[in-house]
Structure 1
Amino acid sequence: MVEKTGKQPRGPGHAPDDPLLWPFTAARLAMDACFWWLERGAVEQGESSLPWTTPSTVALELATMRLRDFTQTRSGQPALVCAPYALHRALIADFAPGHSVVQSLQNGGIGRVYLTDWRSATPEMRYLSIDSYLTDLNVAIDEIGAPVDLVGLCQGGWLSLLYAARFPAKVRRLVLVGAPVDLSIDSALSRLARNAPELVYDQLVARGGGNVSGEEMLRFWSKSPDSDGIEVALQRGLSDEEGAGLLARFDRWNTETLDLPGTYYLQIVNWIFRENRIAGGQFVALGRPVDLKDVKAPVFLLSGLDDDVVPAVQALATAGLVGTPPAFIAAASEPSNHLGLFMGARTHVHAWPRIAEWLRNDLSGVLARSA
């Protein structure tokens, strides 16, 4: 039996699931940081010093990402994990043994696994847009060989869904994990995005020299996650030697943030979180309006029952937006907070093997039963 994870007490101004800093949440602290920002220039982030858990090679070097290749075999159906691009590195998908999406997919029989390793924004990247990321995602999928199974984590989920609607023939199956799509469904973050003045976001980008600085957002966050919060995210105790190593690794991962291009950031804030264009059918991707009903591929939705960032009702509501027949939509909810969906030990024991099995299964029997 899976024990339900508890929620940690939060101080004033404390954001849901602290370690994952969402692009628009920075505005909450931007005004307090105003004068400090004026004395600073833009900060360029270096490369991560943390090693990957699973051996990989770099298949492509693109403007927005490195395409990481974790494949164990050259045959079989490829799965591309679309990591969130939201101030933390893609190591969230390959954090540690027993806490790795890549590893769980491999252990579940998926021999060809790839990952979007998003780059920290440099000054030259400040005008990159959502279209820029969709374009490079398309190049990566062409390199891998379409159709792929697309596994979108968190904000990588809405990007994956946009891609699947824009290029439906290139996605065989779609997995969305803790993915915000319909922002009309209430959550703390959707309220924050709607209620903060637009000028706050514009000033945040301007003070970052055209980008949003992950380092500064982490600096101004009200509280770093403590060991209890990290235990909840990793879904295991940290008092033993292995736990101490995980705690140290998490602390390093949490401080190695990414900068985001200002144009991309403002499009997320305004188009997705404030105007709800994806769910509302008004999003234009690469020159064409996107209709989520064009997504006919089988879909698996995973939500966290303790997820304050993307509440389960919001994560699962995507089922009603796509054109996939109901018989080909699978859904699961885990007793997990947001980070626990990607890093949690229990989630990797219970949910991710089911996802891998679903990706491997022949769904023709489902079609026959639904006929």
Structure 2
Amino acid sequence: MTTPSTATFDVEVMTAKLYEEMERLGKSSDTFSKIAASRMNVQIGQTPRETIWTLNKMKLYHFYPQTPPEQRKGTPLLLVFALINRPDIYDLRPGNSFIEYMVRQGYDIYLLDWGRPGLEDANYDFEDFSLKFLPRAVRAVQRHSGSREFSLCGWCIGATITALYAAMRPDDGLRNLILLTAPLDFANKEAGPYNKWLNTEFYNVDELVRQYGNVPGAVIDYGSKMLKPVENYVMNYLKLWDNLDNPNVVESWLSMNTWVTDNVDFPGAAFRQWVKEFFRENRLMEGTLIMEGRPVELQNIKASVLNVIADKDHIVPNCQSTAAMDKFGTQDKLLLEMKGGHIGLMVGSGASKRTWPQIDNWLAKRSA
């Protein structure tokens, strides 16, 4: 008859592991205290660039090419972000930067920075941004690059702005239009929390704009985080706590947190128009959105269109982007669904292997 052997403990091994864990906790606590005291910061937007044009608070950046002249694409690419948050999300950090990736593929990259609006800018609306300011930035790109033809890439509300421009300025040299999580069609009033919040009778957008002039970025940031409160206010910090001993995770977290917390106010007139004419009345898709005295018609878009959506986008539901495909006048158009969320689509851990190469493959064929 045999008896099971009694497990033995190696005191030296256990002691070594205990000291190792205590050292890890000590380093983690030190890292966390530095983060809490704002003594550990990271710099975002590090890809080398130059400012080539300014207007009011706006700036246009050109990124230095990183390939030999014979390997560069012939059509420059202008990137446009939303009116909220900073455009540095395109260039978050080395190794996780869409701009860094694209300049290494031979693209001549430009980035439009809307700046931070003051009270004197509260009357700017989407007509101003799409048909007054963006065209001036486009002309600056054309002068600087020496190419009349160019490509546009808009993200979120930046995609709405670029779509409006493409529809109203179809003959200005726009060759390719890339839309990233583009909010265009608001017919489905049940799609996403924003639709439900902004369409309620209790949401008085006129009073909000009257009180503030420009809608504070902190207010919009709070609303965005409340779409997923547990994930944003609890799980986000628990993930950091569990990885405080991992420098790569800490740097990634700090980079994203730096961008997320750098809020930008939403110009009052544009915000009022966004809520009323887009969310509530769906004028763009209904053909009743008037700019420069005439309707904005997506069927006028002649440029090739790549419409990229994210399968887990909780900010811009896919239906707000997909329904517009039939409206685009061009015959060369592609709907591309990628894994990720509204932001993770372009800066998530898999973006450099999934989304960026897909965009590059599509654009390279049309940028000769």
Alignment CA distance shift 1:246-1:362 (3 Å): closer
Distance 2:78 2:282 in 1: 26
Q: What TM-score results when the alignment is normalised by the length of structure 1?
A: 0.76
Q: CA deviation at 1:347?
A: 2.0
Alignment CA distance shift 1:195-1:219 (3 Å): closer
Question: What does residue 37 of structure 2 align with?
Answer: none
Whether the aligned pair in 2 keeps the contact of 1:109 and 1:356 (CA below 8 Å) is no
Distance 2:330 2:117 in 1: 35
Whether the aligned pair in 2 keeps the contact of 1:108 and 1:353 (CA below 8 Å) is no
Per-residue CA deviation, residues 118-146 of structure 1 (Å, 9 max, x unaligned), is 21111111111212212110001011114
Distance 2:47 2:234 in 1: 25
Question: What does residue 294 of structure 1 align with?
Answer: 300
Please state if 1:57 is matched with 2:50.
Answer: yes
Please state if 1:121 is matched with 2:117.
Answer: yes
Please state if 1:177 is matched with 2:184.
Answer: no
Whether the aligned pair in 1 keeps the contact of 2:44 and 2:255 (CA below 8 Å) is no
Superposed, which structure 2 residues align to 1:64-213 within 5 Å? 65-72=58-65, 76-86=74-84, 88-110=85-107, 112-134=108-130, 135-145=132-142, 146-170=148-172, 171-185=174-188, 186-188=190-192, 189-197=194-202, 200-208=204-212, 210-213=213-216
Q: CA deviation at 1:219?
A: 6.0
Question: What does residue 254 of structure 2 align with?
Answer: 248
Structure 2: which amino acid aligns with 1:178? Answer: T
Aligned residues between the structures: 307
**Is 99-108 or 242-251 further displaced after alignment?**
99-108
Please state if 1:257 is matched with 2:263.
Answer: yes
Q: CA deviation at 1:226?
A: 4.9
- Give the root-mean-square deviation of aligned CA atoms: 2.7
Alignment CA distance shift 1:66-1:217 (3 Å): same
Distance 2:234 2:248 in 1: 14
Structure 1: which amino acid aligns with 2:127? Answer: D
Whether the aligned pair in 1 keeps the contact of 2:346 and 2:355 (CA below 8 Å) is no
Question: What does residue 232 of structure 2 align with?
Answer: 225
Please state if 1:355 is matched with 2:359.
Answer: yes
* Rg (Cα) greater in structure: 2
- Counting aligned pairs with the same residue, the percent is 27
Distance 1:83 1:301 in 2: 15
Tell me, what secondary structure is at the counterpart of 1:59? strand
Q: What TM-score results when the alignment is normalised by the length of structure 2?
A: 0.76
Distance 2:52 2:234 in 1: 36
Gaps of 5+ in 1: 1-48, 365-371
Distance 1:141 1:286 in 2: 19
Distance 1:218 1:291 in 2: 31
Structure 2: which amino acid aligns with 1:103? Answer: E
Q: CA deviation at 1:231?
A: 11
**Aligned partner (choices 274, 278, 285) of residue 280 of structure 2:** 274
Q: CA deviation at 1:282?
A: 1.3
Structure 2: which amino acid aligns with 1:225? Answer: N
Alignment CA distance shift 1:324-1:214 (3 Å): same
Whether the aligned pair in 2 keeps the contact of 1:230 and 1:247 (CA below 8 Å) is no
Whether the aligned pair in 2 keeps the contact of 1:98 and 1:345 (CA below 8 Å) is no
Tell me, what secondary structure is at the counterpart of 2:337? strand
Per-residue CA deviation, residues 236-290 of structure 1 (Å, 9 max, x unaligned), is x886212101212222222110012111111111111111111111112233321
Higher relative contact order, structure no. (Cα contacts within 8 Å, ≥ 6 residues apart): 1
